[in-house]
Amino acid sequence: MEYNIHDAKSSLSKLIVQALEGKEVVISKAGKPVVKLVRITSDKKKKREIGIYQGKTKITKEFFEPLPDEEISGFFS
């Protein structure tokens, strides 16, 4: 359904209900569609698996050594 801005202002609650029901709600300005009101669906995140990189990576002792002064100074320049 298409509504002009004035009608949308006065019946926003009704338009929200329509969008929640899955209906397409378009708001127009000067006869031109400018906004579509849609329901936000929750993005159910995929459950993270623990240990998927186990055995695929290796952290060497060099990882824990201090960085050279030139490299550290590059962070602050």
Instruction: Dump pLDDT digits (tens) for 31-74.
Output: 999 999 998 877 677 788 888 888 898 889 999 999 999 888 88
Cα distances (Å, whole numbers) of residue 26 to 32, 34, 52: 10, 7, 45
Q: Among candidates 43, 46, 32, which has minimal Cα distance to 3?
A: 32
Beta bridge partners of 37: 25
Q: Among candidates 40, 34, 36, which has minimal Cα distance to 15?
A: 36
- Tell whether pTM > 0.85: no
